[in-house]
Amino acid sequence: MEAPLQLLVVDDEPAIRQVLTGTLRKAGYVVEQAEHGEDALEIIIKGYVDVVICDIRMPGMDGIELVKRVRARGMDTLFLIMTAFASVNTAIEAMRAGAYDYMIKPLRKEDVLHRLVQMGNVIRLQDENRTLRQIIRGHGVFPLVSPAMQRLDRQIQKVARTDHTVLITGESGTGKSVHAKAIHEASPRSAALFIPVNCGSIPDHLLESEFFGHVKGAFTGADRNKKGLFMEADQGTLFLDEIGELPLHLQVKLLHVLEQNQVRAVGSEQFRQVNVRIVAATNKNLKAMVSEGTFREDLFFRLNVFSIHIPPLRDRTQDLEVLIDHFLQKNAAKLGAGVVLNLLPEAREALLSYHWPGNTRELENALERAAILTEDGCIALEDLPDTVAACAVPFRGGGGNEPVPVEDGKSLRDRLRDLEIQLILETIDECNGDRKQAARELGIGLSSLYRKLEQAQVSRM
């Protein structure tokens, strides 16, 4: 029997909280309540919440800001936003901030329960993917085959057993946060919290309070004591993503924590002892920043106790095929039971030929887009982003990969489309006009074949 979803209802109106909480508990869910966004954030970061049902208009931290703060920590908690304002702009803002869905007040019980069923399916898929990765590899990183990534895996396993500070470097999209989580999961601290924070996503004037907390009355708006990230991560791991974005004045205080294992809340004179492992990551050259005077040398040496560099995807093409198949399966699972996604030869060729400046993240996004666009489960060249599709080598069916002469003045995409239509028409002729058989021969759906012909304004009976 599956465990019930853990829900958090956030609304500053007590009556709404009580009614919604009672309804959800009767439906079998485990429900907590919070009156303010600040209280909700403290509950969420403990990691026990699957879905947050949150009002969009609240005093202090509103619903959209709460979503942003949770996403800044790298957490994938799902949000269902409630609003009494049937505004398209409000809905768009909530979705852009990272909310899964939104509903207009007054809420209907049937609608809420239906949305929660959908969100539960999404969470189960996420859990299955995490479990599969852990079974395959023993921690949260997908198995890759290149020598560089196998060496990196061995490094992670070794350093995870220690308490050393780790600095992860690599281009954007290479998976630095995934590897940071892998270090935590393979460490003796795995039973405690892993708290990720993006140093570049929090305003400078809030960073010190976020890191070290504050006492009531420390500054305007500080109407209660607040624990900082270091205290929240006590006995666990704090992941400082984009550490190169940290301002100089906070670098000094971070250095003190690393040296003394002590933090002092804003407005307090008392230091408190903490036991936190630091894993930091950056896509910047910290050595160059030290030379430029924008990053402290002493902090760099403190962070660089054990360094791990993740090579870009273009330098480990052996992993590309594995990742392509992984993301195809992942997106097929999102689309529903029994769905299978396949790549047509020219689409796979384009994916393997592209240089992937955005690395694994760009690859994942490209295949997610293709999964949405394809109508029959067979991803064609036209389903891929233009920059990727442009890397395909034109070929003629049945004649190997021999380049075909094309008209001057046409874009590569237009040339590819012409060649595709030419191949479709030749196959229809070979099948004596039977378009259904031609679609089978080409490995595409009949509806896709008709769509391609219509797009080219071709009609052959």
CATH 3.40.50.300 residue window(s) in the chain: 145-311
- State the pLDDT at residue 401: 40
* pLDDT above 70 (res 98): yes
Q: pLDDT grade, residue 128 (50/70/90)? A: low
Residue type, 392: A
Per residue in 216-252, pLDDT (tens digit) is 887 877 778 888 899 999 999 999 999 999 999 899 9
Q: How many Å apart are CA 166 and CA 229, to the nearest integer?
A: 18
- What CA–CA distances, in Å, run from 411 to 20, 376, 390? 56, 27, 9
- State the pLDDT at residue 154: 79
DSSP one-letter code for 392: P
- What CA–CA distances, in Å, run from 430 to 102, 398, 424, 426? 52, 12, 10, 6
Per residue in 166-209, pLDDT (tens digit) is 999 999 999 899 899 989 988 889 889 999 999 988 887 788 88
Neighbours of 274 (CB within 10 A): 19
Q: Which residue has the higher pLDDT, 420 or 185?
A: 185
Q: How many Å apart are CA 456 and CA 52, to the nearest integer?
A: 47
* pLDDT above 80 (res 140): no
One CATH from 3.60.15.10, 3.40.50.300, 3.90.1150.10, 3.30.70.1400 for 145-311: 3.40.50.300
- State the pLDDT at residue 94: 80
Round the average pLDDT of the chain to a whole number and report it.
Answer: 83
Q: How many Å apart are CA 288 and CA 295, to the nearest integer?
A: 9
Least confident of 126-135, 256-265, 273-282, 299-308: 126-135
- State the pLDDT at residue 398: 41
- State the pLDDT at residue 78: 92
Which residues are within 8 A (CB) of 90 and not within 5 positions of it... i.e. 6 or more apart? Answer: 56, 83, 102
Q: Which residue has the higher pLDDT, 153 or 306?
A: 306
- State the pLDDT at residue 402: 43
CATH 1.10.8.60 residue window(s) in the chain: 313-392
| φ, ψ at 33 (rounded to 5°) | -125, 155
Strand, helix or coil for residue 387:
helix
Q: How many Å apart are CA 359 and CA 372, to the nearest integer?
A: 21
CATH class assigned to 396-461: mainly alpha
Per residue in 337-384, pLDDT (tens digit) is 677 888 888 888 899 889 999 999 999 999 999 999 988 888 998 999
Q: pLDDT grade, residue 395 (50/70/90)? A: very low
- State the pLDDT at residue 435: 78
CATH 3.40.50.2300 residue window(s) in the chain: 6-131
- Topology (CATH) of 313-392: Helicase, Ruva Protein; domain 3 (1.10.8)
CATH H-level superfamily of 6-131: Response regulator (3.40.50.2300)
Q: Which residue has the higher pLDDT, 142 or 193?
A: 193
Per residue in 69-97, pLDDT (tens digit) is 888 776 778 999 988 765 657 767 888 88
Q: How many Å apart are CA 203 and CA 237, to the nearest integer?
A: 22
CATH 1.10.10.60 residue window(s) in the chain: 396-461
Strand, helix or coil for residue 44:
helix
Q: What angle do CA 301, 305, 306 make, to 5 degrees?
A: 135
With tokens 């504050």, the residue in question is 214
